[in-house]
Amino acid sequence: MTKIDSHFADELKKYGAKDFDACFNCGNCSAVCSHSEDNVSFPRLTLRLGVLGLKKEILSSVEPWLCYSCGDCTETCPRQAGPGQYLAAVRRFAISEYEPTGLTRLMFKSPPAFVAITTLIAVFLGFFLFTLKPEYEVSRWIFAYIPYAVIHNMGLVIFSFTGLSMVWGVLSMIISFNKNKDNKAKSKVGIFKAIWMVLSEAGTMDRYKHCDAEEDSHWRGKPWFTQPWFVHWAIMWGFIGLLVATSLDFILKDPATTIWWPSRILGTIAGLFMILGTSQAINYRLKKVTLIYSETSPADWTFLWFLWIAGLTGFWLEVSVAFGANNIVNQFVFLVHTVISMELVLLFAFSKFAHAFYRPVALFYHFRNLG
């Protein structure tokens, strides 16, 4: 049975949607969006669902995840309904609904809560990591008051909690999608082919490239390495590369002295991409180069700066280790680097980052229905 939530529009506005209820269904957004080729009602239909308060239908729809926030539709909307921002808000809302703890909801809806939570986590992690270096004088002093084992175990619990929340969220999304008859595979695209299409999209960002190549796009004709698809690619693969390099370092007990160790080379290349991508993203947002870059939430700023600092401090450490410079400044940089990197991983399931898991699932359902 269809259930209408009369407060849904107000709810979505708390997640960053504009006056999307001003939409009068003219279709300009669908005409301009490069992803409306297979579906003439995209993104108009998703706006209608929101205006009508059809919450469940929104949660079971893949459409919000087919949008790459290029903002072309927002620029052409005659009613200033902000369809691009609306879809971003719907994704934040969906992540909050799928994720079981309520932490995401709190952080997306309340910037002060976001600041308080990220600060508390940073303080906790800083304290936790500081005690991992008992050879430092001050650390030994702290160590006498807080037993290392207690803090270590708490850290493990928190990381497991994040991982489980992510798994729970993705399963909730799949359950929601499976209830929607529009998502039932009707084409000849098989499971393995759809998985391959998802992986190849992650590698090439072909769909995102279409946004930047649209006739009205600000990015049309600009060098490829300046375009938003590449910025996204560089940040995403940079982050994944650094995660893999760090894990390999940990598993293989990499000697800390050589920069030619394979995991170090991977880390160096990934770090370069991450710094390049985040520098471009920060620059575009500071300069407000397009409408969509002119509105940056505190959470988005925080994550961009965290990623940038994690990349930069990583290089600092690599050079310090190569030259054997173990001094108080480098120890402090090490602490900052590790706190920020751990916080980024910790908040993965409860932030915009989570789209790295949700979008591929939605794309899988979308690709299954092509053909």
Nearest approach, Cβ of residue 86 and ligand SF4 (Å)? 8
CA distances from 220 to 75, 210, 226, 232, 250 (A): 15, 10, 11, 17, 43
Nearest approach, Cβ of residue 8 and ligand SF4 (Å)? 16
**Would you say 56 or 79 has its CB closer to ligand SF4?**
79
**Residue owning tokens 């991450």:** 274
**Would you say 71 or 267 has its CB closer to ligand SF4?**
71
Nearest approach, Cβ of residue 292 and ligand SF4 (Å)? 7
Nearest approach, Cβ of residue 57 and ligand SF4 (Å)? 17
**Would you say 27 or 298 has its CB closer to ligand SF4?**
27
**Would you say 205 or 312 has its CB closer to ligand SF4?**
205
**Alpha carbon distance 113, 126 (integer Å):** 20
Q: CB count, 10 Å around CB of 80?
A: 11
**Would you say 73 or 335 has its CB closer to ligand SF4?**
73
**Element containing residue 210 per DSSP (H, E):** helix 206-213
- 43 preceded by cis ω (within 30°)? yes
Nearest approach, Cβ of residue 70 and ligand SF4 (Å)? 4
**Would you say 290 or 331 has its CB closer to ligand SF4?**
290
Nearest approach, Cβ of residue 159 and ligand SF4 (Å)? 33
Q: CB count, 10 Å around CB of 50?
A: 26
Residues that bind ligand SF4 (CB under 6 A): 23-29, 32-33, 35, 43-44, 47, 67-73, 77-79, 81, 83-84, 87, 211
CA distances from 51 to 151, 239, 284 (A): 47, 36, 31
94 near 15, Cβ under 8 Å?
no
Helix 228-252 to helix 206-213 angle, to the nearest 10 degrees? 150
